[in-house]
Structure 1
């Protein structure tokens, strides 16, 4: 009788173990390394498709894109070029085509940014808690909005560093600005501003994983503003007065917005709330 009971318990225990094992194997969240790599490959491929679509569309309208981006260039640039004034120069046989391709790829990356952020979120979402998942979509939308604001602001102030750099040696030199050097400068300037405007999301993420807190950012506010204004002078490609001013003001506003965002998004610890 005792043996029978033990056998029954053993069978039940064995059945329970097999059931748990089977549940783990059937759990959709339990993925092997190969499965993760395969999923990552599919998501990267989807991002590349959107980059390719954006690149093709931009290349079709590359003349419009070039006209839009060279608008901040002052008329005094390349003045020896005749009636066209600030028309850019080409230093090689295929440079015009290369510049068009580079601009198209940059636009393709910007065009695919929503899909890239979505695929990144979808890849890491299974490993997040429910309270973290609910912030993902608002963060993606806010990240795109902040990036768009940063790029738009950069475009309107682009004329100041460009004008300064073009006119700096105008009395001594006839500067011939190549299309490759100019559009590389423009792309760098726009992307720097777009990345800078992601500061609130970076600080909020650091707060969510416990590296920084709202009270810590408040206590270091004065030092942070000084460092941000110092960084604004380094991040500016040109040496004009206006670009660091715009970047410094933007960084200070974004820092304060980060504190406000953390206050409403990140749950405070009891000890931190009493501090």
Structure 2
């Protein structure tokens, strides 16, 4: 009798262990399948982003003459008496290489909405409802602000260029190379584009509880002085206009950040 009970208990224990093992195996299999599905989804999203970059880069390469003319127009005609202000290359392949790099940069720039959308489509299923509510306007406003920053940078860049050319004209004969010029304007325009993301950065810090509108108001005078000093270092050259334009923009964006925080990070 005792042996029979012991056998029954062993069978029950064996059945329980077997069922528990099967449950664990099922969970592991489901988890592995979910991970594989996520990786496959990520691969598809990245592939779509790369396709977008390739397509826009090809389009940019087709219109390379117009793009080069547009980017070169801020350069003063007096920049070089030998070339009448035209940009020069110092190697056989340099012109082709720089054209490819600029086409790629334009392709990436034009693909930003696609990249952001694909990123959003990948992470959106895992976000809470309130996080989704903030993400969409953040992405849209971020694109608009970055575009405004790039545009203002392009408009402003002629002032440091004119100053630097006039400063050197009496002492040197300038040959403006394509590499140095496009590196210069890329840095300048990106600096403006990044600076214009200040409202989003401060609003995000407010959403996670690091700052609030009251703190920004309290530190307003110190922040404005700091931003004007930063504007002098960010803008190359010693012209008057570019640091003033960037300083005014940064001060305006700081005040805009306070409004953004009231709208997006209100309790």
Q: Could you tell me the TM-score, scaled by structure 1's length?
A: 0.82
Please give the alpha-carbon distance, in whole angstroms, between the structure 1 residues aligned to 2:45 and 2:221: 42
Q: How does 1:8-47 map to 2 (within 5 A)?
A: 31-32=34-35, 34-47=36-49
Where do residues 187-226 of structure 1 align in structure 2 (5 Å cutoff)?
Answer: 187-226=186-225
> How far off its partner does 1:145 sit?
1.0
* Stretch of structure 1 that moved more, 55-64 or 119-128: 119-128
Partner of 1:62: 64
Distance 1:159 1:214, change over 3 A: same
Give the corresponding residue for 1:7: none
Aligned residue for 1:73, secondary structure, equals coil
Task: Provide, for residues 221-242 of structure 1, a one-character-per-residue CA deviation record: whole Å limited to 9, x for no partner.
Answer: 1111111111111111232211
SS of aligned partner of 1:169: helix
* Aligned counterparts of 2:161 and 2:37: Cα–Cα separation in 1: 49
> What residue in structure 1 maps to residue 158 of structure 2?
159
Higher helix residue share: 2
Kindly indicate whether residue 214 of structure 2 is the aligned counterpart of residue 182 of structure 1. no
Instruction: Note the alpha carbon deviations across 1:3-48, whole angstroms, 9 max, x for none.
Output: xxxxxxxx9xx9xxx7xx98xx59xxx943x444443333222211
Map of 1:125 onto structure 2: 124
Q: Give the corresponding residue for 2:134.
A: 135
Structure 2 partner of 1:76:
78
Q: Which structure 1 segments of 5+ residues have no match?
A: 1-10, 269-275
Q: Structure 2: where are the runs of 5+ without partners?
A: 1-15
Secondary structure of the residue aligned to 1:109 is helix
Runs of 4+ in 1 over 6 A off after TM superposition: none
User: Take 1:94 and 1:264, find their aligned partners in 2: how far apart are those partners?
Assistant: 52
Deviations 1:172-209 (A, max 9, x none): 11010001111111111111111111111111111112
Superposed CA offset, 1:137-171 (max 9, x none): 22211111111111111111111011111221110
Provide the residue aligned with 1:3 in structure 2.
none
TM-score, normalized by length of structure 2? Answer: 0.85
Describe the SS at the equivalent of 2:169: coil
State the alpha-carbon separation in 2 of the partners of residues 173 and 122 from structure 1: 54
Supply the distance in 1 between the matched residues of 2:208 and 2:121 (Cα, whole angstroms): 19
Larger radius of gyration: 2
Q: Distance between the aligned counterparts of 1:231 and 1:123, measured in 2?
A: 37
Q: How many residues align?
A: 245
Measured against aligned partners, the alpha-carbon deviations of 1:39-87 in whole angstroms (never above 9, x if no partner) come to 3333222211111111111111111001111111111112112xxx111
Alpha-carbon distance in structure 2 between the residues aligned to 1:37 and 1:93: 43
Residue aligning to 2:232: 233
